[in-house]
Amino acid sequence: MPTIHTHRLANGLCLLAEPIESARSLAMSMVLPAGTAAEPDDQLGVGTMLAEMICRGAGDLGSREHSDALDRLGVQRSTAVRGIHLSVGATMIATKLGEALPLLMDMVRRPRFEATALEPSRDLALQALEALEDEPQEKVFIQLLKRHLPEPLGRSNLGRRQDLEALSLEQIRRQWQQRFVPAGAILGFAGRLDWPHLQAMVESQLGSWQGTAQEPAERGAAERGYGFVETDSAQVHIGIAYDALPEPHEQSILQHAATAVLSGGMSCRLFTEVRERRGLCYSVFASYAGQRDRGTVLSYAGTTTPRAQETLDVLVGELKRLGDGIDREEFDRAIVGMKSRLVMQGESTGARARAIVSDQYLLGRPRTLEEMAARVDAIDVQKLRAFVAENRPGPMTITTIGPKALDPPA
């Protein structure tokens, strides 16, 4: 059976590795406890700037030299910040790991924070914030999660303009010092690898690293209810959120399947009922976001002003109607879609590296594709029907962006 190797360093770092013999590439995914939830209240966006600054020179190499060194090795890399974690990802030819790993770990342990990199990083962060006005779908989800989740879990990864404009190099460096720590960090690899050799390399690079950071705690209750953002547009964007099972729950796989019935392709229920049969909107979908201690079903519809109220009413109705039953054809399509996504994930070393790191954080252990496929195979239509009947949507948080407010369903 496939094996995922696990090792915890003395400093608290969790190292994972999934060998994939058929692969010629090797992917790395690393998460650090430096997400938006860990940002000081008056420095929203410091994580975004930190994710950019660590790419602008590290170790003994300046920004251009460090970038050129990774490019010569053919390393594709990225950084991103989300709610709990800041992530560093890379994909490379497996034989280049010995040269690439020190360069990548310098980004984590020895970023240069050169003064000349501050303003270009700030400009990029501000441009991303301004571009939000041209991305109303992203904007509605930002506003929705801010309303649905308690502080600091619902923060946007784009930050806040006044904070971005005021951030200093010293504040960014302090965030790195406090949050780039091994305790709470997870480092995962997937692809062609030699486990003893990889383990020794990581120990050499990170064994002396020290530090701990407390995970941010939620504060107060979420606002929830209905929110409206006025904009001069002929379009209306609708976002809906409601509570669901957390990912570690033994029945979370049924929540995945139920959401696949709603939004698993062009034959799914939302696409068919809201878009195709009624012609109410040009885009509609739902997704399930399972976290360690909570879960959320998110749904979106993009429509025009004359159709907006009916679109909202019908979308809410379809989300609730799922609990009335699922037919066999819907069930079969959902299961096939879930299995197809697992197969495609298995063909991407990057996807597998991210998946085992996510599993480690959410579940406390990584899962093989075979284990995940077995969970899908264990679903039958009767179990899913019983699940949706017993887990109907509760109170919904709704946010709309458009020229006028809508009347949220009772």
pLDDT of residue 321: 97
Write down the mean pLDDT value for the chain. 97
Number of other residues whose CB lies within 10 A of the CB of residue 232: 6
Read off the DSSP letter of residue 215: P
For residue 1, pLDDT beyond 70: no
All structural domains of the chain = 5-206 (3.30.830.10), 226-402 (3.30.830.10)
Average pLDDT over residues 351-360: 98
Tokens of 299: 């749904």
Separation of alpha carbons 410 and 401, rounded Å: 19
pLDDT band at 278 (very low <50, low <70, confident <90, very high): very high
Contact 350, 29 (CB under 8 A): yes
What is the percent of the chain with per-residue pLDDT over 90, rounded to a whole number?
97
For residue 265, pLDDT beyond 90: no
pLDDT of residue 237: 98
Average pLDDT over residues 99-126: 98
Q: Which pLDDT tens digit goes with each residue over 6-45?
A: 999 999 999 999 999 999 999 999 999 999 999 999 999 9
Q: Which pLDDT tens digit goes with each residue over 193-244?
A: 999 999 999 999 999 999 999 999 999 999 999 999 999 999 999 999 999 9
Alpha helices in 132-264 (DSSP H): 136-148, 161-166, 169-179, 195-206, 252-262
Burial of 243 (0-12, 13-18, 19+ CB in 10 A): middle
Tokens of 341: 């996504």
> Which sign, positive or negative, has the C-alpha torsion 230, 233, 234, 237?
negative
pLDDT of residue 99: 98
Tokens of 285: 């979908």
Q: Which pLDDT tens digit goes with each residue over 139-184?
A: 999 999 999 999 999 999 999 999 999 999 999 999 999 999 999 9
Q: Which pLDDT tens digit goes with each residue over 392-402?
A: 999 999 999 99
Place of tokens 């879609």: 337
Separation of alpha carbons 113 and 45, rounded Å: 16
Distances (CA, A) of 247 to 109, 217, 296: 31, 19, 10
Distances (CA, A) of 266 to 12, 51, 273, 328: 45, 36, 11, 17
Separation of alpha carbons 34 and 110, rounded Å: 16
Which helix H or strand E contains 108, and what residues bound it? helix 97-109
Number of other residues whose CB lies within 10 A of the CB of residue 8: 11
Separation of alpha carbons 50 and 65, rounded Å: 19
Separation of alpha carbons 338 and 265, rounded Å: 11
Read off the DSSP letter of residue 155: -
pLDDT of residue 17: 98
Read off the DSSP letter of residue 183: T
Q: Which pLDDT tens digit goes with each residue over 279-300?
A: 999 999 999 999 999 999 999 9
pLDDT of residue 241: 98
